[in-house]
């Protein structure tokens, strides 16, 4: 979950950092996978057991880390064939050895870049989607099996318990994969083509034709969801996260992804989170940007022409009763306006400005040599070089599609309407305390309706209170364009955004809401101050074990008794671990809790572990009132996640300060955006030379520091690509800094 306030990107002095496992989904680094199978007949075994749960045992070496007795099997539908050497596959790291994982990931999925001469469609589409809603991480992996190079794959984060814990702060709740089975329905069940998210009646067996269950239960929940979604539209937001769904469908239609839920009835997941809402989760984007070009029907359409793809309806299926997944939402006028606003945002931020072409070329530069060396790619290296701009073997060029598409969509009537404007957002008091009454005001023009969305915790539903143009009351008075609303704060930060609309279209502030939001800080007496989700060498517990830990801090000048207080990593179970009676945190003091799921040890040991791939942590009092929480993403070994300034500041990645005041890096810059980047470094890690690729040729100064803050290189750069020989540099971690970005470089 992203927060839209300036985050100080901390640059820290580290005495030791474990390099045993680079980030699994760093798009600027090629993941290396080497599989050595126990059985010489491995390929025939996986072919014979395709479509089952059977896995072949192997030793996997991933980015130099060895995993014993993993389970491997082929996956895919049209992308799999027993007659080809390069098949999509999955690795289950904990298939035999329980708790064997790579930075928290246990299931790894690799796609074989089927039907994509450019090699970048899937990774590019996921990167765009992650700006607006939850979607899998993705990058590229070079794979060898039995010592022979198989080729370059895309590596896509699995949608599993690890994914739901990171993004929805829960796991083991109802999870389904949309997968329409083209076979006769069971007796008494509706026949005919798939109508994605349709209500199929009270017999839950009817739903197995359209969904594969990925959880231990949930068929009744799925039935009830489709019933409400189809038959009780006024309660739609009670059963589906509508805003995330709108972002997803806008992305699908804009990128002409027809191998998807609203056309094919597959390639998506739905997950019911702790708010009791199902979430639409995008999946399998290898045929987006117009590669799959047929509209399903009876009979299906012939392949769409280039012009038809470029002018594809951005409201596709909005009037089709056979596709409730789209039509039922678009039937509601406000949701349609929101959908159009989201379309305009995606279009403006990625396509109308040409960003996607620059990014596609950057991705191709990263993988160029690997594609050239791939012995089993489905297209030639020349095809790879040309498919961004040119149609290759029926796969339309990405730029050929999207440049014309951006022009076409912006010419449509719905995209010509003037949007409202939202500005001058303020709150009074400006620095509130817990339980204060706060007045929010803003200036809105060209609107006839507006609301403030707010919540006090990640993973909760945004409450919506109407904004009135006379301040806070709906008394019919006409104001001067200053809209206002009043809310009472809780003990934690308030996350909020504003939406406004007129008769034709809406707008959000920030424009990426609800995924992004503004934050009004409320610092409590007792806070989560720092945590280590990947403790390699920072601090051992009394048994000599380098386990995860959580640090609390008391912001007051008096001790606080913690009898009956709780820590948890699950929003659906806030009382997961209870502090023992007699636990006290000293005035302006620290208290350390080991998150190692080993309550038999002496001291404070919680009954859960932290996930290095990211999750949320909650601190509650005896009444389960939320005192503090923090949400973190993938963690680097021996880099902690903590408040700066100590006790009161925002969370940043930082130098470990176990049971001590938190400190910041010697170099600090504003992190302008988590998704956008000023420059890329590759290869990274490196050992001979590096290439630094900037997004512009504007002259700027490049600095490179050691992790201790010593300047080792400085140069004026005025070119888009810059190569630097680092053969004689010492191995270790360096910090590469431009005007407003800093990145980590690893030399080995």
- Residue-wise pLDDT for 544-578, tens only, equals 999 999 999 999 999 999 999 999 999 889 999 99
The structure's pTM equals: 0.84
Who wins on pLDDT, 323 or 650? 323
Q: How confident is the model at residue 712 (pLDDT cuts 50, 70, 90)?
A: confident
Sign of CA dihedral 285, 289, 293, 298: positive
Residue 470 confidence (pLDDT)? 67
Task: Return d(Cα 560, Cα 566) in angstroms, integer.
Answer: 14
**For residue range 324-362, what is the model confidence (pLDDT) as tens digits?**
999 999 999 999 999 999 999 999 999 999 999 999 999
Given this chain, do its domains 421-520 and 526-664 carry the same CATH topology? Answer: yes
Residue 679 in contact with residue 743, Cβ under 8 Å? Answer: yes
Residue 590 confidence (pLDDT)? 97
Residue 22 confidence (pLDDT)? 64
Residue 12 confidence (pLDDT)? 33
Q: How confident is the model at residue 670 (pLDDT cuts 50, 70, 90)?
A: very low
Task: Return d(Cα 606, Cα 567) in angstroms, integer.
Answer: 8
**For residue range 130-158, what is the model confidence (pLDDT) as tens digits?**
999 999 999 999 999 999 999 999 999 99
Select from 630, 665, 670 the least CA-distant residue to 650. Answer: 630
Residue 271 confidence (pLDDT)? 98
Q: How confident is the model at residue 192 (pLDDT cuts 50, 70, 90)?
A: confident
Residue 387 in contact with residue 377, Cβ under 8 Å? Answer: no
Q: How confident is the model at residue 191 (pLDDT cuts 50, 70, 90)?
A: confident
pLDDT at 695 over 80: no
Task: Return d(Cα 303, Cα 537) in angstroms, integer.
Answer: 57
Task: Return d(Cα 362, Cα 551) in angstroms, integer.
Answer: 40
Q: How confident is the model at residue 703 (pLDDT cuts 50, 70, 90)?
A: confident
Paired sense of beta strands 667-671 and 148-157, if any: unpaired
CATH topology of domain 678-747: Immunoglobulin-like (2.60.40)
Who wins on pLDDT, 720 or 344? 344
- pLDDT average, residue stretch 719-735: 80
Two structure tokens written together for 142: 């070079």
* Residue 396 CA to its chain's centroid (Å): 27
Count of all residues that appear for the chain in the document: 748
pLDDT at 15 over 50: no
**For residue range 26-73, what is the model confidence (pLDDT) as tens digits?**
999 999 999 999 999 999 999 999 999 999 999 999 999 999 999 999
Task: Return d(Cα 134, Cα 1) in angstroms, integer.
Answer: 8
First to last CA, the chain: 33
Who wins on pLDDT, 510 or 743? 510
In this prediction, what percent of the chain has a pLDDT beyond 70? 93
Who wins on pLDDT, 306 or 185? 306
Least confident of 462-476, 504-518, 626-640: 462-476
pLDDT at 18 over 50: no
Residue 746 confidence (pLDDT)? 79
Residue 306 in contact with residue 396, Cβ under 8 Å? Answer: yes
- pLDDT average, residue stretch 220-230: 98
How much is the mean pLDDT over the chain? Answer: 90
Where exactly are the structural domains of the chain? 166-415, 421-520, 526-664, 678-747
Q: How far is CA 342 from CA 262, 496, 619, in A?
A: 18, 17, 34
Who wins on pLDDT, 285 or 458? 285
CATH topology of domain 526-664: Immunoglobulin-like (2.60.40)
Residue 479 confidence (pLDDT)? 64
Burial class (CB in 10 A: 0-12, 13-18, 19+), 66: exposed
Residue 85 in contact with residue 376, Cβ under 8 Å? Answer: yes
CATH topology of domain 421-520: Immunoglobulin-like (2.60.40)
DSSP 8-state secondary structure symbol assigned to residue 43: H
Task: Return d(Cα 499, Cα 497) in angstroms, integer.
Answer: 7
Q: How far is CA 489 from CA 462, 464, 469, 480, in A?
A: 14, 14, 22, 27
Q: Which residue has the tokens 């992996």?
A: 141
Residue 518 in contact with residue 597, Cβ under 8 Å? Answer: no
Select from 487, 598, 592 the least CA-distant residue to 539. Answer: 592
Q: How confident is the model at residue 472 (pLDDT cuts 50, 70, 90)?
A: low
Two structure tokens written together for 3: 């927060």
Residue 678 confidence (pLDDT)? 65
DSSP 8-state secondary structure symbol assigned to residue 705: E
Task: Return d(Cα 263, Cα 218) in angstroms, integer.
Answer: 24
Residue 669 confidence (pLDDT)? 35
Burial class (CB in 10 A: 0-12, 13-18, 19+), 256: buried
Who wins on pLDDT, 700 or 665? 700
**For residue range 253-290, what is the model confidence (pLDDT) as tens digits?**
999 999 999 999 999 999 999 999 999 999 999 999 99
DSSP 8-state secondary structure symbol assigned to residue 537: S
pLDDT at 20 over 70: no
pLDDT at 5 over 70: no
In this prediction, what percent of the chain has a pLDDT beyond 90? 73
């Amino acid at each position: 979950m992203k927060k839209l306030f300036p985050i100080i990107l901390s640059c820290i002095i580290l005495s030791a950092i474990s390099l045993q496992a680079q980030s699994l989904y760093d798009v600027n680094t090629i993941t290396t996978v080497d599989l050595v199978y126990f059985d010489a007949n491995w390929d025939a075994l996986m072919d014979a057991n395709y479509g089952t749960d059977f896995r072949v045992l192997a030793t996997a070496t991933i980015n130099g880390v060895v995993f014993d007795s993993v389970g491997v099997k082929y996956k895919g539908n049209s992308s799999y064939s027993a007659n080809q050497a390069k098949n999509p596959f999955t690795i289950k790291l904990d298939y035999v050895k329980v708790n064997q994982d790579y930075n928290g990931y246990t299931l790894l999925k690799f796609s074989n870049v089927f039907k994509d001469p450019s090699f970048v469609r899937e990774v590019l589409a996921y990167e765009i989607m992650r700006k607006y809603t939850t979607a899998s991480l993705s990058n590229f992996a070079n794979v060898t099996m039995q010592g022979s190079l198989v080729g370059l794959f895309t590596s896509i984060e699995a949608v599993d318990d690890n994914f739901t814990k990171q993004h929805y702060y829960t796991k083991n709740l109802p999870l389904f994969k949309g997968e329409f089975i083209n076979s006769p329905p069971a007796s008494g069940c509706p026949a005919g083509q798939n109508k994605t998210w349709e209500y199929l009646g009270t017999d839950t067996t009817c739903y197995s034709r359209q969904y594969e269950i990925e959880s231990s239960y949930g068929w009744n929940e799925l039935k009830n969801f489709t019933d409400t979604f189809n038959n009780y539209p006024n309660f739609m937001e009670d059963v589906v996260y509508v805003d995330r769904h709108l972002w997803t469908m806008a992305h699908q239609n804009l990128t002409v992804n027809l191998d998807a839920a609203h056309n094919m009835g597959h390639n998506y997941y739905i997950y019911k989170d702790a708010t009791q809402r199902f979430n639409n989760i995008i999946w399998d984007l290898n045929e987006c940007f117009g590669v799959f070009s047929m509209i399903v029907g009876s009979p299906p359409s012939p392949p769409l022409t280039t012009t038809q793809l470029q002018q594809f309806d951005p409201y596709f299926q909005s009037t089709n009763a056979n596709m409730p997944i789209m039509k039922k939402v678009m039937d509601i006028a406000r949701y349609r306006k929101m959908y159009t606003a989201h379309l305009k945002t995606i279009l403006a931020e990625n396509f109308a400005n040409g960003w996607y072409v620059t990014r596609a070329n950057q991705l191709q530069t990263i993988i160029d040599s690997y594609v050239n060396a791939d012995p089993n790619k489905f297209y030639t290296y020349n095809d790879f070089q040309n498919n961004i701009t040119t149609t290759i073997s029926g796969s339309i060029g990405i730029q050929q599609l999207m440049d014309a598409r951006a022009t076409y969509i912006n010419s449509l009537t719905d995209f010509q309407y003037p949007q409202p404007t939202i500005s001058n957002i303020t709150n009074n008091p400006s620095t509130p305390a817990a339980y204060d009454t706060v007045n929010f005001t803003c200036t809105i023009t060209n609107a006839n309706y507006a609301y403030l969305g707010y919540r006090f915790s990640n993973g909760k539903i945004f409450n919506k209170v109407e904004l009135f143009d006379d301040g806070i009351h709906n008394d019919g008075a006409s104001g001067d364009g200053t809209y206002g609303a009043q809310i009472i704060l809780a003990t934690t930060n308030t996350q909020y955004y504003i939406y406004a609309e007129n008769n034709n279209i809406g707008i959000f502030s920030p424009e990426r809401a609800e995924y992004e939001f503004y934050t009004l800080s409320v610092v409590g007496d007792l806070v989560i101050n720092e945590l280590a989700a990947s403790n390699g060498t920072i601090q051992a517990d009394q048994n000599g074990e380098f386990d995860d830990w959580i640090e609390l801090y008391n912001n007051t000048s008096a001790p606080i008794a913690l009898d009956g207080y709780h820590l948890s990593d699950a929003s659906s179970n806030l009382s997961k671990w209870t502090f023992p009676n007699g636990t006290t945190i000293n005035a302006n003091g620290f208290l350390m809790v080991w998150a190692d799921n080993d309550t038999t040890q002496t001291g404070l040991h919680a009954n859960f572990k932290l996930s290095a791939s990211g999750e949320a942590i909650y601190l509650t009092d005896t009444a389960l009132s939320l005192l503090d929480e923090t949400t973190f993403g993938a963690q680097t070994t021996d880099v902690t996640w903590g408040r700066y300034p100590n006790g009161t500041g925002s969370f940043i990645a930082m130098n470990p300060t176990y049971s001590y005041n938190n400190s910041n890096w010697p170099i600090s810059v504003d992190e302008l955006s988590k998704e956008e980047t000023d420059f890329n470094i590759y290869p990274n890690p490196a050992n001979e030379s590096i290439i630094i690729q900037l997004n512009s040729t504007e002259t700027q100064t490049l600095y490179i520091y050691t992790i201790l803050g010593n300047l080792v290189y400085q140069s004026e750069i005025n070119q888009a690509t810059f190569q630097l020989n680092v053969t004689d540099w010492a191995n270790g971690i360096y910090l590469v800094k431009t005007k407003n970005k800093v990145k980590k470089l690893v030399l080995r």
